[in-house]
Structure 1
């Protein structure tokens, strides 16, 4: 039977053994690394379905590694594990490419549930995956959903999977109210606090991308959702 592959990066030996052994018993194929050395090569060779990534690592921290993964492998989900639990740390985790964020200490039951949730979200058929035009013109911008690219004049911005999904829904509801809960359910599968904060990060990033055109706005409608005006 095909087993899902998890790349687990953790420098604390005792915790690494517990997590690796537990996930193996749960039926996953685990590759453990103590740091992010040669990360790109490891991902290409192992081809993981998900990465569980500690933040406080030697040599290169997890947030920096997350950015590398997100730029090169935009569809690969990342769960950050860290003792850092301030709100700005959580935001930084999502901005660094994380699709989920767990505080240490954590239970193995919670980690397993979060892994299953991330894998289910990758596999499930969501409204964002409905057929879209090959290209969507947004004033001087052109959005290519299939390629996950946003073009502005001669500049090409490669989007992450989440950025592309959120922007696709905004485009489909252009100049109409897009319900926040529906957006969360469509992209993340639920409207939990952490996913809600994650959405805030992506909305802020998309606003920054469109900053060059003042006629394109993502307006927050308090208590409702968003209006993508262009």
Structure 2
């Protein structure tokens, strides 16, 4: 999805900020719809054709974290950026654990927000443009395009971020993939919070593939990971 194809769902209960963001984003030639509470935002997502979500965390009726979980259930590939006045580490980790693509603390610079939107959009385009979609991982079959990890008769649906990480590991199977390479390609930045979030996702992937003892994601401490299979 390139930026001129974006149809953004914006959930923000502060009307002044919401209107400013709508005007700013529309000036970048993208479509954006403002919702002022979580309930209407999620209902709007179900009825619309949105391909990008910007969610305030502290929303009336339904909070942003809950909306993001529901959005990812419907379409795990939809990028989600949180906007919030809460900058606590626990909140950021929760947001990234849900599968957020970024977490921006208020007050913020509009141009910075736009740069992040463009970077996430380009990263999504790059991932989707790859010709290699299905990977064999020991007894597992990983279908990147359909976000599925298949083992015998069972199917595990992955989040977009889980799939992106696993794909990078598969592309360098039995070889080292550096932490900063994963963080820059998928998170768009290499910082403490993104690093902690990546560690959570790696732990989840290990759990998903634990039924085949020959499949291991080896941690090369402070350097990166190797998918051995």
TM-score (norm 1): 0.85
8 Å CA contact 1:49, 1:119 repeated in 2: no
Distance of 1:58 and 1:136 partners within structure 2: 45
Query: After superposition, where does 1:29-48 map in structure 2 within 5 Å?
Result: 29-37=31-39, 39=41, 41-48=43-50
Could you say which residue in structure 2 is the equivalent of 1:25?
27
Match of 2:92 among 67, 90, 93: 90
Distance of 2:70 and 2:49 partners within structure 1: 15
C-alpha distance 35-143 of structure 1, shift in aligned 2 (>3 A): same
Could you say which residue in structure 2 is the equivalent of 1:110?
112
Classify the secondary structure of the residue corresponding to 1:95. Answer: helix
Name structure 1 gaps, 5 residues minimum. Answer: none
Distance of 1:31 and 1:133 partners within structure 2: 33
Could you say which residue in structure 2 is the equivalent of 1:178?
177
Name structure 2 gaps, 5 residues minimum. Answer: none
TM-score (norm 2): 0.85
Distance of 1:60 and 1:212 partners within structure 2: 37
Distance of 2:75 and 2:192 partners within structure 1: 26
RMSD value, Cα: 2.4
Classify the secondary structure of the residue corresponding to 2:61. Answer: coil
Could you say which residue in structure 1 is the equivalent of 2:79?
77
- Write the deviation string for residues 19-55 of structure 1: whole angstroms up to 9, x where unpaired: 2222223322220011232555523543223111011
